[in-house]
Structure 1
Amino acid sequence: MNQPYTLTVDQTWLFEPQHITEPDSWAGHTPFAAWLVANQQPKCLVELGTHTGFSYGTFCQSVSANALDTQCFAVDTWQGDEHAGNYDDTIYQQVKEWHDARYSAFSYLMRMTFDEALGHFEEGSVDLLHIDGLHTYEAVKHDFETWLPKLSDKAVVLFHDTHVRERGFAVWQLWEELTQQYPHITFAHSSGLGVLLVGKDVAPSVKQLADTYKHNPELVSGMFAQLGGRIENLCEMRRQRHQNEARGKALEEREEMLLLRDNAITTLEATVREQQQALGNGELGATKSINDSVENEAWQHSLLAKIAKKLHQ
């Protein structure tokens, strides 16, 4: 009798990330990541390439929610690269502040290159590895091959951006090669995620999901794409809210500048009237009054120029 290949409803499917950041191209994979951590229960989890911490936040949140005995490590220089873009120390400080307040009991930020981090891990010790660094073929192949000896018998490796074929991204190319060698699951949504079952003793539920995918890929990929779509919608709603807030703030600032402009114009008009009155009446000290007024007028014109420049930005 053939084994039925189905999916069992899991509470982790309702997972919602607490740490939502930009870029959010990983958003659609958070339900699967939460499911994977809960079912694989890794002792050692390593992420290569953390950036703003969206995916890493998902891993840590799942470890915490399931009270797992997992040690998590985020490896990144936090300086950027040709794909993520270069950035200053602000990103790292923001990630550190968020991270240390929540997960410092079991998680560590390792600010170094991926190669430098290798010496901190014993061979056969890493159960879950997420590779999301520089996305050229050479770089991602190097990352996989150099970390391969560190993987345990139950290891699963995740590759992000397996469906991006622009700007020099070539994870897809390595992924096509690796899927000929290892059991796997491929997700096309959220820029693509490759799930590679490298270990020979992968958790039974993870192996079962891969077997189901092998016989019915549309069922597995479709289900997690739908679950991920809910998170993508949450991120889009959040983005729209922030844009509306920023737009509202900009309107408030513009109204303030318009009010300043109107006040400056009113003051300038009053100054001109005072000058004309002083000249018409031939008052003593009119010259001094005019000089003072001219200085005041120059200041008003300068203010108006600054306001006009601000309004047209």
Structure 2
Amino acid sequence: MNFNELPPETQQRLQYWQEQIEPIQGWCSPVAGITLYHLVQNKIPVPVVVELGSWKGRSTAWMAAALADQNSAGKIICVDTWRGTPSEKEHAQLLANYHPDQLFEEFLHNMGHLGLRDWIVPLRMTTTEGAKAWPSEQPIGLLFIDADHDYYAVRRDFELWSGYVKEGGLIVFDDVPNWPGPTRLISELPSWWKHIGYSDNQWIVIKTA
């Protein structure tokens, strides 16, 4: 996707959302965010997105904005404890002075401030708990894996959630190649997951069967 080849009105919306989302602390770059926006609007078979790991909502906002701009009835289901990942030192440092609910409150505030709350369904639980609670009859159009980056955690999330992704649906693995966990896992994916794109640390695969 070439930004300069997009229709002018789409470029204007993306520039607007970039300005609105940029103040949210997080690690999703504008390039990565625009890619998520494009995928949600144009490339998924059902408008159901599951985000594993949401933090303060920077990537969440890009995906919810895609639904909002289409007046979609779709939802972004955000699965996170909003307590950080204990094994990641940066999380521990950032949350050192937070009270237990503060990160979650910031997430909700950010979504409300952007006018995106109607497209967000937060599930405050672990990704394992979320997978066990997921209704088997509800297919997922896009699964964004960005929770615990340990290899075994990423593998567990893939194994627990990928079966719910509809044929023609997508998985986006974040932090490839920056983190060894997801980078290792993408080399082990079953053959029915086909690599279709890469954008600023995001590895994108489509379910072909």
TM-score by length of 2: 0.80
Q: Relative to 1, partners in 2 of residues 1:7 and 1:112: Cα closer, same or farther, differing over 3 Å?
A: closer
Q: Does 1:173 align with 2:177?
A: no
- Asked if residue 195 in structure 1 is aligned to residue 197 in structure 2, the reply is no
Give the structure with higher Rg (CA). 1
Partner SS, residue 135 of structure 1: coil
Q: How does 1:16-95 map to 2 (within 5 A)?
A: 16=15, 17=18, 18-20=20-22, 21-41=24-44, 42-81=46-85, 82-83=87-88, 85-86=91-92, 87=95, 88=98, 89-95=101-107
Partner of 1:161: 175
Alignment of 1:83-122 (within 5 A): 83=88, 85-86=91-92, 87=95, 88=98, 89-101=101-113, 102-118=115-131, 119-122=133-136
Matches for 1:1-313 after TM superposition, within 5 Å: 9-11=5-7, 12=10, 15-16=14-15, 17=18, 18-20=20-22, 21-41=24-44, 42-81=46-85, 82-83=87-88, 85-86=91-92, 87=95, 88=98, 89-101=101-113, 102-118=115-131, 119-123=133-137, 125-165=139-179, 169-178=180-189, 181-187=192-198, 189=200, 192-200=201-209
TM-score normalised according to structure 1 size? 0.55
Task: State how far apart, in whole Å, the 1-side matches of 2:135 and 2:177 are.
Answer: 30
Figure out how many residues of one structure are paired with residues of the other and give that number: 190
Q: Do 2:32 and 2:199's aligned partners in 1 also have CA atoms closer than 8 Å?
A: no
Contact 2:31 2:199 in 1 (8 A): no
Q: In the TM superposition, what is the alpha-carbon distance from 1:13 to its structure 2 partner?
A: 5.5
CA–CA distance in 1 between the matches of 2:204 and 2:11? 17
CA distance in structure 1 between the partners assigned to 2:124 and 2:190 by the alignment:
31
Task: Give percent identity, aligned residues only.
Answer: 22
Shift of 1:154: 2.7
- Structure 1: stretches of 5+ with no match in the other structure: 1-5, 201-313
Q: Stretches of 4+ moved more than 4 A in 1?
A: none
Tell me the amino acid that sits aligned with residue 85 of structure 1. Answer: H
Q: Deviations over 1:173-211 (max 9, x none)?
A: 11122285522134263xx111010144xxxxxxxxxxx
Change in CA separation of 1:69 and 1:154 when aligned onto 2, cut-off 3 Å: farther
Q: 1:154 to 1:188 in 2, by over 3 A?
A: closer
Q: Which structure carries more strand by proportion?
A: 2
Structure 2: runs of 5 or more not aligned: none
Q: Is the 8 A contact 1:159 1:193 kept in 2?
A: yes
Q: Whose relative contact order is higher, 1 or 2, with alpha carbons under 8 Å and at least 6 apart? A: 2
Q: State whether residues 13 and 32 of structure 1, in contact with CA within 8 Å, keep that contact through their aligned partners in structure 2.
A: no
For the Cα contact (< 8 Å) 2:67–2:119, is it kept in 1? no
Structure 1 residue identity aligned to 2:73: D
Structure (1/2) with the larger helix percentage: 1
